[in-house]
């Protein structure tokens, strides 16, 4: 069955009013749905009586106007996929609905978690944009559970902090990064990679896998782990490759508890991010398919 399309918060609330008792699951997206989003929708479908998908390319989280303009917009195809995934309501507001004239309030998560990695590279304003739109979406949908992918690991840390600090009554559910057969993390931006860039981008999961191999072999020094990644990415000149504490995102001297190994790199016109969590005592390596160079 086709989902109901709500363009305004009032339409959304009216559509959800009769269904709140069975639990509302919410998957916020910027559209251009791929298998990663579908896995979030499947989890939401399993856990809740009603599933809401939002499609909104949020201007306040983009630094470069060119990136915002180039972001893929494929609403008709997204709604068709949403129907197959059993979504009940698609919330697809306009920019004016989310940011009406006179809009003047931003949600800003401070501290180390927004100052490092993506925050250092793109500026804290990126996460101000994310926190503001996610807060607005959560207030509009008022879900019981909201689902996020682990590819945007820092976003998840920021959203969890905001939800705790503002006392927003929602459970944040994080699902593992969805990957293609060669290990590349699925992203709406991947559609902008040429076939040649796509082949080059396969070095990203290989580099993370090499670090996971080193970690499984007992390497705990962040510098050795990031050097391993950089060696695999030779020629790609990553914006950052860092190992930080998985919860606080603070720098660490050695991996003694769960750590986030995160990177950002430009391939052709596209900026890609990826990460793995390194957990002492847990071997959870990225499987690299037939075109990757799996040596497990």
Cβ closer to ligand PAF: 30 or 150? Answer: 30
Query: For ligand PAF, which stretch binds (CB under 6 A), given 24-32, 92-100, 170-178, 254-262?
Result: 24-32
Check binding of 208 to ligand PAF (CB under 6 A): no
Contact (CB, 8 A) for 91 and 79: no
Q: What is the largest CA-CA distance in the chain?
A: 57
C-alpha to C-alpha distance for 211 and 285, rounded to whole angstroms: 9
Residues 102-131 that bind ligand PAF (CB under 6 A): 130
Residue 40: CB minimum distance to ligand PAF, A = 10
* SS3 state at 249: coil
C-alpha to C-alpha distance for 171 and 48, rounded to whole angstroms: 12
Residues 137-176 that bind ligand PAF (CB under 6 A): 152, 155
Among 107, 109, 133, 214, binds ligand PAF (CB under 6 A): 133
Cα end-to-end distance, the chain, whole Å: 43
Cβ closer to ligand PAF: 30 or 51? Answer: 30
Check binding of 6 to ligand PAF (CB under 6 A): no
Cβ closer to ligand PAF: 31 or 292? Answer: 31
Contact (CB, 8 A) for 29 and 53: yes
C-alpha to C-alpha distance for 144 and 226, rounded to whole angstroms: 38
Residues 60-89 that bind ligand PAF (CB under 6 A): 61
Residue 267: CB minimum distance to ligand PAF, A = 19
Check binding of 264 to ligand PAF (CB under 6 A): no
Residue 19: CB minimum distance to ligand PAF, A = 22
37 catalytic, yes or no? yes
Query: For ligand PAF, which stretch binds (CB under 6 A), given 27-35, 198-206, 216-224, 239-247?
Result: 27-35
Tally of residues, the chain = 296
C-alpha to C-alpha distance for 12 and 93, rounded to whole angstroms: 10
Q: Which of the residues 19, 34, 37, 295 is marked catalytic?
A: 37
Residue 32: CB minimum distance to ligand PAF, A = 9
Cβ closer to ligand PAF: 150 or 255? Answer: 150
C-alpha to C-alpha distance for 259 and 253, rounded to whole angstroms: 11
C-alpha to C-alpha distance for 145 and 139, rounded to whole angstroms: 12
C-alpha to C-alpha distance for 165 and 146, rounded to whole angstroms: 16
Check binding of 28 to ligand PAF (CB under 6 A): yes
Residue 29: CB minimum distance to ligand PAF, A = 5
Q: What are phi and psi of 64, to 5 degrees?
A: -95, 125
**Both structure tokens of 39:** 């896995």
Reported as half-sphere exposure (CB side, CA atoms, 13 A), residue 131 has a value of 26
Check binding of 53 to ligand PAF (CB under 6 A): no
**Both structure tokens of 287:** 């499987």
Cβ closer to ligand PAF: 29 or 178? Answer: 29
Integer Rg of the chain from CA: 19
Cβ closer to ligand PAF: 131 or 184? Answer: 131
* SS3 state at 77: helix
Check binding of 187 to ligand PAF (CB under 6 A): no
Catalytic residues, which ones? 37
| Contact residues: ligand PAF, CB under 6 A | 28-30, 58, 61, 130, 133-134, 152, 155
């Amino acid at each position: 069955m086709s989902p109901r399309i709500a363009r305004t918060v009032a339409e959304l609330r009216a559509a959800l009013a009769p269904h709140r008792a069975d639990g509302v699951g919410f998957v916020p997206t910027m559209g251009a749905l791929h298998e990663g989003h579908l896995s979030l929708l499947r989890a939401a479908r399993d856990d809740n009586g009603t599933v809401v998908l939002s499609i909104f390319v949020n201007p306040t989280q983009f630094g470069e106007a060119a990136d915002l303009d180039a972001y893929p917009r494929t609403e008709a195809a997204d709604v068709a996929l949403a129907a197959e995934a059993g979504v009940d309501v698609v919330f697809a507001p306009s920019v004016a609905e989310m940011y009406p004239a006179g809009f003047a309030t931003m949600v800003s998560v401070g501290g180390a978690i927004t100052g490092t990695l993506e925050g250092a590279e793109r500026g804290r304003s990126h996460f101000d944009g994310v926190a503001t739109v996610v807060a607005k979406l959560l207030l509009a949908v008022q879900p019981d559970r909201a689902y996020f992918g682990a590819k945007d690991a820092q976003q998840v840390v920021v959203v969890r902090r905001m939800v705790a600090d503002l006392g927003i009554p929602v459970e944040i559910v994080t699902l593992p990064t969805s990957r293609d057969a060669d290990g590349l993390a699925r992203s709406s931006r991947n559609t902008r990679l040429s076939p040649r860039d796509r082949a080059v981008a396969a070095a990203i999961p290989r580099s993370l896998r090499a670090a996971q191999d080193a970690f499984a072999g007992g390497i705990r020094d962040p510098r050795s782990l990031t050097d391993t990644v950089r060696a695999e990415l030779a020629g790609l000149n990553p914006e950052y490759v860092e190992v930080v504490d998985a919860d606080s995102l603070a720098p660490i001297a050695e991996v003694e508890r769960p750590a986030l190994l995160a990177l950002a790199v430009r391939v052709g016109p596209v900026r890609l991010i990826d990460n793995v969590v390194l957990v002492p005592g847990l071997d959870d390596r990225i499987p690299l398919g037939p075109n990757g160079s799996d040596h497990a």
